[in-house]
Amino acid sequence: MSRKKPLLAALLGFSLFACIEAWRDLQPALTNPQLTSARVVISAPLLVALHGGDRFLAADLEAIRLAATGMDERGVDTDYLIRAQREVARLNACHEDNYYLANGLLTWGGAVDEGNEILRAALQCRFWDEFPAFFYGVNLAFFQHNNDEAARVLELGASRSTHNAAAMQKLAIMLRSERFADERLALNYLTQQRDAAADPKLRDMLSKRVIRLQGLIDLRTAQQRYEAAHGALSELEQLVTAGLLAELPIDPLRLGYELRNGRIELKKLKIAGLEEQP
C-alpha cells in the first residue's frame, strides 16, 4: 500500500495541475495593451558573445537572417533592415552580400545615408573591390549631388578595376566637368583628359563626349548670331535654313540636343520614373 501512495500523490498533483490550467483557460484573458515593437536586432558586441566569440559567424548568420526575412507586414521594414545591416557591417564590413543588399534595399529604398554608411565601410574593408566604389560614387552623385566626392570615389574604383576602369574614369571625369557652367571650359577640361588618357577605350569614349560638347558650342554660337539678326529661335532647324550651319551637328552618343527655355542644351538620358527626383 505504501508503494502506491507516492503514485497516487503524483496522479493527484498532475490532475490538480490540469484542472487549474483548464479553469484558467475559461477565464477572460488578461491581455496587456499590445506592444507592437519592431523586430529585434541584437547589438554587435552581444552578437559576438552569443556566437562564441566568432564575429564572422555572427555576421554570416545575421546576413542570412535579414536576406531570408525580406520585407513584409510583420514588423520587418526599412527600419529593421537599417539596424540589422549596420550591425553586420560592424561585425564584418567585408561581407559582400551585405553591402550589395544595403545598396539595393536601403539606398534605393529611401535610406540613402544609412545605405551609404555601409557602402563606405565596405569600400574601406574591401580595398581590392571596385563595386562598392562604383555604387557609392553613383549614390553620391545621384542622391546627394556631391560630385567632387563622387568623382574621387569613382577614380578610386577605377584604380582597383581591370575591366571597368575606363568606364569609371569616364564617369568621374564627366562628374567633374559638369560643374563647369561654361561649356568652353568644360570642353578644354574634357579634351585635356582625353589627351592624357593612356587607355584607348577611355580615349575613345572621351572623344565622343568631346565631339558632343563641340556640337553644343557650335549650336550656341550659331544661336547667338541668329538671334542678333532674326530674333528668338524657336526650332533648331531654323539655324540651317538661315544658312548659319550647313547641317545640325551629329551627337556621337545619339542623344542629341534640344531647345529648352530658349537655351540649347544637351539632351539627358531618360530613366523611367526618375525624372521627378529632386
Residues 6+ apart with CB under 8 A from 275: none
Binder of other proteins out of 41, 44, 140, 187 (CB under 8 A):
44
Binder of other proteins out of 41, 84, 90, 103 (CB under 8 A):
90
| Residue 97 interacting with other proteins (CB under 8 A) | yes
CB of 271 to other proteins, least distance (A): 24
Distance spanning both ends of the chain, measured CA to CA: 89
| Residue 66 interacting with other proteins (CB under 8 A) | no
Binder of other proteins out of 43, 144, 159, 224 (CB under 8 A):
43
CB of 61 to other proteins, least distance (A): 8
CB of 154 to other proteins, least distance (A): 18
* Residue of 250, 168, 258 lying closest to 211 (CA atoms): 250
Nearer residue to other proteins within complex by CB, 160 or 176: 160
Question: What does residue 108 show for φ and ψ, rounded to 5 degrees?
Answer: -85, -5
| Residue 38 interacting with other proteins (CB under 8 A) | no
| Residue 45 interacting with other proteins (CB under 8 A) | yes
Which CA distances in Å does 221 have to 127, 187, 244? 47, 14, 10
Region near other proteins per CB under 8 A, out of 62-70, 71-79, 194-202, 218-226? 62-70
Region near other proteins per CB under 8 A, out of 56-64, 70-78, 203-211, 232-240? 56-64
Query: Pairing state of beta strands 263-266 and 257-260?
Result: antiparallel
Tell me the β-bridge partners of 266. Answer: 257
- According to DSSP, residue 250 is labeled P
CB of 273 to other proteins, least distance (A): 24
- 8 A C-beta contact, residue 197 and residue 206: yes
- According to DSSP, residue 228 is labeled H
Nearer residue to other proteins within complex by CB, 33 or 53: 53
Residues 6+ apart with CB under 8 A from 101: 63, 66, 67, 85
- According to DSSP, residue 227 is labeled H
| Alpha helices for 144-199 (secondary structure H) | 147-160, 165-177, 183-196
| Residue 200 interacting with other proteins (CB under 8 A) | no
Q: By rule CB under 8 A, what string of x and - marks binding of each residue 102-141 to other proteins? A: ------------------------xxxx-x----------
Question: What does residue 71 show for φ and ψ, rounded to 5 degrees?
Answer: -105, 130
**Footprint (CB under 8 A) of other proteins, residues 148-177:** none
Nearer residue to other proteins within complex by CB, 43 or 144: 43
Number of residues that bind other proteins (CB under 8 A): 30
- 8 A C-beta contact, residue 226 and residue 239: yes
CB of 219 to other proteins, least distance (A): 43
Task: Specify the amino acid at residue 9.
Answer: A
Residues that bind other proteins (CB under 8 A): 43-46, 48-49, 51-57, 60, 63-64, 67-68, 90-91, 94, 96-97, 100-101, 126-129, 131
